[in-house]
Amino acid sequence: MKRRDALKNIGLSAGLIVATPTVISLLNSCSTDSNKWSPVFLNKEQSKVLIDIVDIIIPKTDTPSANEVNVVEFLDKYYKEILDDNRQKWLKETYASLLNLIKSNYSDTINDLTEDNYKDLLDNHMILNGESNDISELLKNIKSDTIWAYKISEFVGENVLAYDPIPGVAYCGDLEELTGGKSWSL
């Protein structure tokens, strides 16, 4: 991927810069193309569901959405390369259960699912407080993994969050003045 070089060439890695439409469109050209990319851990249907869910969790605003920084490609590879056998087994089983639930509640055809279907799924099956179950655990995991993957993506780390690889100094100051209210990415 030449995205990093491309951004550097137009001077974007120099510091705190708000993403402009030009940047977003440049970014779009680097994001996951579902026609070319094939999942290595999830199956096609599961990855399609994940692609749809992550953009509900982190939608496009004046900054990129989760898919615009390749969150699903990252997580699918992470599932395969990092998680241990037990965790992988649980994920496979629970993704399968999730798909069954989605099909029985909304539509047999994954491509027909709407944004409202997914919001309904998250509203009713992600249990933040109270007794959880495997589906809820999976949805909460998807939420936390999506947040993690989004925040450590190169574009978000360097351009959306406050990025300061070589601070040179250490002191306390005003949050707004230092980062415009954002977290540091490192």
CB of 58: closest distance to other proteins in angstroms?
A: 5
Under the binding rule (CB under 8 A), the answer on residue 181 touching other proteins is yes
CA distance 129 to 132: 8
Q: Which is nearer to other proteins, 14 or 82 (CB)?
A: 82
76 exposure class (CB count in 10 Å sphere: 0-12, 13-18, 19+): buried
Site of tokens 């306390």 = 172
CA pair distance 164, 15, nearest whole angstrom: 7
Our CB check for other proteins shows the closer of 1 and 108 to be 1
- What gap in Å lies between CA 52 and CA 67, rounded to an integer? 9
Answer yes or no whether residue 99 interacts with other proteins by CB under 8 A: no
User: Which 154-173 positions form the footprint of other proteins (CB under 8 A)?
Assistant: 154, 157-158, 160-161, 164-173
Q: Site size for other proteins, by CB under 8 A?
A: 51
Q: How many CB atoms lie within 10 A of CB 36?
A: 6
Subset of residues 51 to 80 that bind other proteins, contact rule: CB under 8 A:
56-59, 61, 63, 74, 77-78
Cα–Cα dist 154/149, whole Å? 10
89 interacts with other proteins by CB under 8 A: no
At 69, list the tokens: 């920084």
Q: Minimal distance in Å, beta carbon 161 to other proteins?
A: 6
Q: Considering the complex, what minimum distance in angstroms separates the CB of residue 66 from other proteins? A: 9
In angstroms, what is the C-alpha Rg of the chain? 18
Give the interface with other proteins as residue ranges (CB under 8 A): 56-59, 61, 63, 74, 77-78, 81-82, 84, 119, 122-123, 126, 128, 143, 147-154, 157-158, 160-161, 164-176, 178-179, 181-186
